């Protein structure tokens, strides 16, 4: 079963800004799917169309087989949305916000209260249930939006940069929570700027840039494409110039960053450094592999224009 199927989706905003130029995308039921792209690429517009916040210009979208043109209400019932911006009434209490949201989906008040307790407790917000939303910290507000999106127990959860501005500890606990929800059978689509997040959580990935999908594959397949590794070498002292052939490099004080093709190995780099009398004290692998790949994909896509 396909949780989401998008074909030929376009959106042109008033003022002729074409945000989406024909998106085709399929997300299978049970998947943990990442949608990546730079700012203004069309991620939020895509999510907006799926969740009925943005009117599409053309194309087709169906959620668990419900076409949004003909069965919009059925499609909406399947989706839980955690938007990028805080969009709750700042004057209402945490409990009012989540219970009301359940009510909009037709969940009776008694059941809504039980679920509120369950999700607010799981997301560490139960103690704050009677506090007005405006008094919560940034991390709490993000978690409140996650709790709210789950109140009608959706089959597809869409999170638009859910961990933006959240400290690492809370981010990790949110990741754990989302993995748990996914294990329980909820399909998750996530957009994020933290590529480490996509690498850790997601199985499949689509990269969108300037309104088109430039890559749509599994995270594993994507990472295997990466045949260049980046290393950071800590030098004993600053050097005025370095000459290296066969590798890309950048120098920043005593740090030398080199991009090495896997088949080339590191010996030739060390030989050249030794010849120039440059002493290397330590070396480490640069972690954000996906980030690098992402930049390359987006840049190569743009180069073809």
Out of 46, 62, 101, 204, the only residue in the binding site for another protein (CB under 8 A) is 101
Beta bridge partners of 207: 36, 215
Does residue 69 belong to the site contacting another protein (CB under 8 A)? Answer: no
Task: Tell me whether residue 19 or residue 235 sits nearer to another protein (CB atom).
Answer: 19
Does residue 105 belong to the site contacting another protein (CB under 8 A)? Answer: yes
Does residue 91 belong to the site contacting another protein (CB under 8 A)? Answer: yes
Does residue 76 belong to the site contacting another protein (CB under 8 A)? Answer: yes
Q: Please, what is the minimum distance in Å from the beta carbon of residue 100 to another protein?
A: 5
Q: Please, what is the minimum distance in Å from the beta carbon of residue 202 to another protein?
A: 23
Q: Please, what is the minimum distance in Å from the beta carbon of residue 85 to another protein?
A: 6
From 94-102, 122-130, 271-279, 297-305, give the range in contact with another protein by CB under 8 A.
Answer: 94-102
Does residue 164 belong to the site contacting another protein (CB under 8 A)? Answer: no
Task: Tell me whether residue 38 or residue 132 sits nearer to another protein (CB atom).
Answer: 132
Out of 85, 169, 275, 305, the only residue in the binding site for another protein (CB under 8 A) is 85
Task: Tell me whether residue 96 or residue 216 sits nearer to another protein (CB atom).
Answer: 96
Task: Tell me whether residue 160 or residue 209 sits nearer to another protein (CB atom).
Answer: 160
Does residue 169 belong to the site contacting another protein (CB under 8 A)? Answer: no
Does residue 96 belong to the site contacting another protein (CB under 8 A)? Answer: yes
DSSP string, the chain: -EEEEEEEEEEEETTTEEEEEEEEEEEETT-EEEEE--TTSSHHHHHHHHTTSS--SEEEEEETTEETTT-HHHHHHHEEEE-SS--S-TTSBHHHHHHHHHHHTT--HHHHHHHHHHHHHHTT-GGGTTSBGGGS-HHHHHHHHHHHHHTT--SEEEEESTTTT--HHHHHHHHHHHHHHHHTT-EEEEE-S-HHHHHHH-SEEEEEETTEEEEEEEHHHHHHT--EEEEEEEESS--S----SSSEEEEETTEEEEEEETTT-SHHHHHHHHHTTPPEEEEEE-S-HHHHHHHHHHHHHHHT-
Sites of contact with another protein (CB under 8 A): 13, 48, 51-55, 72-74, 76-77, 79, 81, 83, 85-92, 96, 100-101, 103-109, 148, 152
């Amino acid at each position: 079963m396909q949780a989401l199927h998008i074909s030929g989706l376009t959106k042109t905003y008033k003022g002729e800004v074409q945000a989406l130029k024909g998106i085709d995308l399929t997300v299978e039921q049970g998947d943990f799917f990442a949608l990546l792209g730079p700012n203004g690429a069309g991620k939020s517009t895509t999510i907006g169309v799926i969740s009925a916040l943005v009117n599409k210009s053309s194309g087709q979208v169906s959620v668990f087989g419900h076409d949004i043109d003909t069965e919009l209400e059925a499609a909406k019932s399947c989706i839980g949305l955690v938007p990028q911006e805080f969009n709750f009434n700042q004057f209402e209490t945490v409990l009012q916000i989540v219970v009301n949201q359940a009510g909009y989906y037709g969940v009776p008040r008694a059941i809504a209260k039980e679920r509120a307790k369950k999700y607010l407790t799981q997301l560490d917000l139960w103690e704050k249930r009677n506090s007005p939303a405006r008094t919560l910290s940034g991390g709490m507000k993000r978690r409140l939006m996650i709790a709210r999106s789950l109140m009608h127990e959706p089959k597809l959860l869409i999170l638009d940069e859910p961990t933006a501005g959240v400290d690492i500890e809370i981010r990790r606990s949110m990741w754990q929570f989302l993995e748990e929800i996914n294990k329980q059978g909820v399909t998750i689509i996530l957009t994020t700027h933290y590529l480490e997040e996509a690498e850790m959580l997601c199985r499949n990935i689509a990269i969108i840039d300037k309104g088109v999908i430039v890559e749509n594959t599994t995270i594993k397949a994507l990472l295997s494409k990466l045949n260049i590794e980046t290393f950071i070498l800590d030098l004993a002292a600053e050097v005025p110039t370095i000459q290296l052939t066969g590798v890309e490099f950048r120098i920043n004080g005593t740090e030398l960053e080199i991009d090495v093709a896997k088949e080339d190995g590191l010996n030739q780099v060390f030989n050249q450094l030794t010849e120039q009398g440059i002493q290397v004290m330590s070396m480490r692998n640069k972690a954000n592999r996906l980030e690098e790949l992402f930049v390359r994909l987006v840049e190569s896509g743009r180069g073809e224009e």
